[in-house]
Copies of this chain bind each other. A is one copy, B any other.
Amino acid sequence: MVRAHHVTENTVGADMTPAELEVLDFFVHLGRYLSLPRSVGEIYGLLFATGDSMTLDELVRRLGISKGSASQGLRLLRGVGAVQVSYRPRDRKDYFQAEVELPALIRGFMKEELSVRLSHADERLQRLRDTIEDPNSGAPDGLTGRVDRLQSWHRKAKRLVPLVSTFLKM
């Protein structure tokens, strides 16, 4: 409740329209669910609401956040493919624009986040196996079986990723 109106609490946010505020609100909450900083939700939200591309300074001014936050937030959003940068001839500024095509977003997220996590999990599971196979590890009875199950979860998750991608691109 309070948080949703964050942008209205500082003077610079005052030039937001109700429609824009509502869109920001939506993405701030969505981001919250994905444990993203509020600033990231705000940035994507404003870009989404505006539709057009926008410079870093414009984002800073309209959202009333610091350049540091904006820069870091944009890096993250670019990283997952949620924001694209374009350059204009005879203009040094970067122009940032929201990617609103779901397939592109999915692709970015799956590639950037998920695959890294899954391969980390791979390593961990391998280490875990190695540890419990050592007779000195003190592995409780039946742990091997439960770790097997863990590995089967993991394999399933890996097979799920392309399936979800396909579905969402339809």
List residues of chain A with CB under 8 Å of any chain B CB.
17-20, 22-23, 25-26, 29-30, 33, 35, 48-51, 100, 102, 117, 120-121, 124-125, 127-128, 131-132, 134, 136-143, 146-147, 149-150, 152-153, 156, 160, 163-164, 167-168
Contact A18 B134 (CB under 8 A): yes
Q: Which of the residues B137, B138, B143, B156 comes within 8 Å of A102, measured between beta carbons?
A: B156
- Residues in chain B near residue A146, CB distance under 8 A: 48-49, 51, 100
Q: Which of the residues B51, B127, B164, B167 comes within 8 Å of A143, measured between beta carbons?
A: B51
Given contacts A29-B124, A140-B50, contact A19 B131 (CB under 8 A): yes
Count of chain copies? 2
Distance from A53 Cβ to chain B, minimum over Cβ atoms (Å): 13
